[in-house]
Structure 1
């Protein structure tokens, strides 16, 4: 493919108005004329336009502005539009390269100083050589955890490291591009090995929250960092972890796992499981009352009187096949159910409504004997009575359409009430 040359540049060369020749590796200076997320354009003394794109943008100075004068290195003499392709990485010097080769081979740790920051990470210098420390290679302690991933806030946190010294390890060297990639995270792993040998599962650690994320808490302690998964924060359901916990909060936690340098911690395992005590008062076959707290496609979660939750699987709601628990149950409904299974260690109680409607001899009661339909809550019974259905006899003579007019009673629930009323009247 034949490269196009910008007319202005070609004419200048043809007219011999300048001896300027761009060669790969040359250091040149110019003025920034455009700054965007996808490219930087630099005026090269009115002779040509330089362009910085792609991965090269990661090496641009964080505080770069339009009209700033900047030095760059020629990466390629010309692109298809006649622009000179530039790189900021080429400003690095070769001094110390052989030493870095040895360090990489031997796995030595070295000190670097942060000189600049951009959205991709930190520009650092060791001796006479500049390298790049990507955000992803920062240690857990220094990683900029920003809610929502706001790029400007991340950049602001990265700029705080300018002037600081960090201990790093070389993870990649590209001699052709004079490119060195450092990792603080890899260096931290090396120094953590000795500390991890003294830490064991079951130990209690004390530290402070260094990050709050949707899936848990990061805890910094003894120059180490561990994660408390949201499932290990509390025995109760955590509705909003960002509201309950904040960076800087002091925390005591139990070490529950150490694997590949990762430390898993738990707050709740330092406490007695209240669920085990609460479930002791129940037994399989017992009838209980509760309130519908959550509805899912597979069933309904019922909060019992002492605060624990049980599940009524969709198959245990009605004798008739239903496709949605919401056809019969509504949030806030007070219901009666029977315990059909218990798994204390798994925090599971299985409940059933339909077992309450099994055929059995029912005593003849007064006209107000709606209580004979055991799965009906007190709220539903009251609604039926207010609608004029104050006896099983009246309900048995009704149609499903009549009952559906009552708030909270759907098609499936109406049919079940009619069926049980006809059996019991």
Structure 2
């Protein structure tokens, strides 16, 4: 056994020992430390300073720092030391407890790499891109240096593998917020919200931590072909709560019910006696429903379709046909309009006598009995 080795054993410095070192000198790729009671200084290679990749040793430590270290090798009157291994050993113990308890961890994003984020928790923690947010992120460049909260979702100490999720924290917070909101809101409430997402069948609106659905039929009093014709993502809207299903966590909302209805100003828009161009929407046995204003339909009773007798409305009208109608009555309270088509048509026969047949002489009627006063004042040329 060499004299050097004997000296090391006498002083009890051996590979694997934990020691405290004070930073005496910093070079680009290594740090020199003094160790109390040791016969010579120790060297920490840059790769053993941190669990993360660092470009310069000065990025990790400063002169005068006291560090917990482990001796990894003894050679050429030098200790080769590691700070990284000590940090990792301490960190894994704490991280295992936090993993088991589901504790939330707050840490700074140290680096942005392909596929996600890197966090220093004494060991290198990786956050896959899919676990950063609960929505798609185009670029993560702005995340470097940012403090975020994380939950450990996977860890393998033997493989030095630590997977973190910020998304899990967000989803838990949203779930908690959702429960609170679900308890507070009731059918009939009017709330402010923001359009989060648009689908073919409606729009999802955030009303304070929980999304509710405004079905396409509840967007407007008018017929809506496309949801995007009425609302856009990010738009602030006022909604009315139609129903709350706490078991399925579904909330039905309406924008239409917060807007003035077409019947609110019906007295001004379609007063009695006014004439409108409308569209036949439905034909029923007793008449035709005609839309005279967006969201406002009135009934043309079968007796008001034509001057002549008809058995069914189909004889004169078809769905989708444009017609001129006159308002006969307005019932705002019951949302009813009585309309007439025949009021705007000339009565057949008022000026045309060509279809009259002369009665037979035996009947005892004269032409004057048939056309009456129409002959008064008539002078032949």
TM norm structure 2:
0.40
TM norm structure 1:
0.36
